[in-house]
């Protein structure tokens, strides 16, 4: 374990990595392994039913040297989930990355997961790749890592190797992104090793880019297009037209077209950003007050205890009562943030006429810039991994653990 970096010299750097792939590719499994969070639901290996229906933000605190990366792994629904159509899912992903863009937060990269046991990549998979390519932008493909999963899950290892080579070389699969001047990377995921999974993230940690989708939809200097007129949205729109001609499902087509016609709702976003800032300013003042009160109680007790425990004991007796008051205040703060998130989700759903509305995770202030920003209900704990021995990937993870 490294001990040469003091806690007060750590730079906290929040970054965002979007995790995409078809249903059953192992997105939730990847995030569960790499974060160590075994409460994340994962799908049954024997089915293709997706477990992720909403865009979900899962956080990993990962320290390398003097930088603590607050990595937000964005788990997205698969594009062939039976419960949703492509327009709805693309809308949810677009709303998340557009919000990230508007908040001037760093999108470091995209992980696209593919199940290596699949004998072939059908039309759904190829369409998803075309959507991915256009969402990122051809001159930003180096911010994408194409990750193959489920190695060793068949009785034909040579077949798995052959499929990997086909994916790598074929232009209609991964070849276009891998052979471009701004080339993407390719990697294998081993679910038995958190260290190997972290190696997949390492190349993206120094990246920062604006996806083409956000530049087309929400950049003030851009065209401010509705979703369906973006390059990524056109891939979905064209497929919807083909499905309509083949199946004649007019109601589903009209619903999807309504979703694709939506622009990012700047009015709702701005309103809630202002409400968030006002609420968090109040909470930070309360937090500072709690720190000051606790310091006064403990500090006064220590000073009064020099030579005698009489006054010191009296001051320390105040602490339990104060902690009850502080605990109630923290509960009210959490309830206020939860209410703000609920209201935003409902109001954005009405404004955009979408089922889920906008993802409200950004309304919760989880960013830690310095040690002084830590809530008084948290502590900083360091530990090392057990399966990464190469010095290039040696690191210490710092977890923010809420006290019981």
Q: Which of 332, 352, 372 is the last residue of a domain?
A: 352
Do 370 and 339 belong to one domain? Answer: no
pLDDT by position in tens, the chain (length 404): 444 545 557 888 889 999 999 988 999 899 989 888 777 656 554 444 444 467 888 888 888 888 889 899 999 888 775 444 788 889 989 999 999 999 988 899 999 999 999 988 888 889 999 999 999 999 999 999 999 999 999 889 999 999 999 999 999 999 999 999 899 999 999 888 888 888 999 999 989 999 999 999 999 999 999 999 999 999 999 888 777 777 777 777 888 888 899 999 999 999 999 999 999 889 888 888 877 777 776 665 545 454 444 554 554 455 566 678 888 888 899 999 999 999 999 998 888 777 777 888 888 865 444 433 334 333 332 222 322 333 333 333 333 323 32
Whole domain around residue 198: which residue ranges?
Answer: 7-264+364-402
Give domain status of residue 348, yes or no: yes
Give the CATH number of the domain where residue 255 resides. 3.40.50.300
Give domain status of residue 117, yes or no: yes
3-state secondary structure 285-338: HHHHHHHHHHHHHHHHHHHHCCCCCHHHHHHHCCHHHHHHHHHHHHHHHHHHHH
Do 232 and 255 belong to one domain? Answer: yes
**Exposure of 19 by Cβ count < 10 A (0-12 exposed, 13-18 middle, 19+ buried)?**
buried
What span, in angstroms and rounded, lies between the C-alpha atoms of 73 and 97? 12
Do 289 and 332 belong to one domain? Answer: yes
Give domain status of residue 206, yes or no: yes
Do 147 and 283 belong to one domain? Answer: no
Give domain status of residue 333, yes or no: yes
DSSP helix/strand/coil, 187: strand
Give domain status of residue 89, yes or no: yes
Do 199 and 329 belong to one domain? Answer: no
Number of domain units in the chain? 2
Give domain status of residue 140, yes or no: yes
What is the DSSP annotation of 106-127? EEEEEEEEEETT-S---HHHHH
Do 76 and 115 belong to one domain? Answer: yes
Give domain status of residue 100, yes or no: yes
Do 164 and 310 belong to one domain? Answer: no
User: Six-digit token pair at 47?
Assistant: 């089915």
Do 278 and 346 belong to one domain? Answer: yes
* Closest C-alpha among 194, 198, 201 to residue 387: 194
């Amino acid at each position: 374990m490294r001990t040469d970096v003091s806690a007060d010299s750590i730079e906290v750097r929040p970054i965002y990595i979007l995790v995409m792939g078809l249903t059953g590719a192992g997105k939730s499994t990847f995030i569960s392994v790499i974060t160590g969070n075994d409460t994340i639901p994962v799908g049954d290996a024997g089915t293709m039913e997706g477990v992720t229906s909403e865009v979900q933000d899962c956080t990993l605190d990962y320290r390398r040297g003097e930088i603590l990366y607050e990595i937000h792994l964005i788990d997205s629904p698969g594009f062939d989930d039976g419960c949703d159509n492509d327009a709805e899912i693309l809308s949810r992903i677009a709303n998340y990355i557009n919000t990230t863009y508007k908040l001037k937060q760093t999108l470091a990269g995209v992980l696209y997961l593919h199940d290596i046991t699949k004998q072939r990549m059908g039309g759904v998979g190829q369409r998803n790749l075309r959507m991915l390519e256009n969402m990122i932008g051809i001159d930003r493909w180096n911010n994408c890592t194409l990750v193959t999963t489920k190695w060793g899950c068949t009785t034909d290892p040579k077949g798995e190797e052959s499929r990997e080579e086909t994916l790598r070389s074929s232009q209609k699969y991964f070849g276009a992104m891998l052979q471009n001047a701004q080339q993407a990377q390719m990697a294998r995921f081993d679910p038995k090793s958190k260290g190997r999974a972290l190696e997949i993230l390492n190349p993206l940690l120094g990246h920062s880019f604006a996806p083409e989708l956000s530049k087309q939809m929400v950049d003030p200097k851009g065209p401010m297009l509705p979703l369906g007129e973006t390059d990524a949205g056109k891939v979905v729109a064209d497929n919807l037209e083909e499905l309509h001609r083949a199946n004649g499902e007019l109601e589903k087509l009209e619903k999807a077209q309504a979703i694709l016609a939506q622009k990012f709702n700047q009015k709702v976003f701005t309103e809630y950003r202002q409400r968030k800032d006002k609420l968090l300013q109040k909470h930070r003042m309360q937090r500072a007050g709690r720190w000051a009160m606790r310091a006064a109680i403990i500090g006064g007790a220590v000073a009064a205890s020099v030579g005698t425990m009489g006054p010191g004991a009296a001051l320390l007796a105040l602490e339990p009562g104060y902690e009850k008051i502080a605990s109630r205040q923290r509960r009210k703060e959490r309830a206020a943030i939860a209410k703000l998130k609920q209201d935003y989700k409902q109001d954005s759903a009405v404004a955009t006429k979408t089922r889920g509305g906008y993802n409200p995770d950004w309304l919760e202030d989880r960013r830690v810039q310095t040690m002084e920003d830590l809530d008084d209900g948290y502590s900083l704990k360091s530990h090392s991994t057990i399966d990464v021995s190469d010095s290039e990937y040696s690191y210490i993870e710092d977890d923010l653990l809420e006290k019981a």
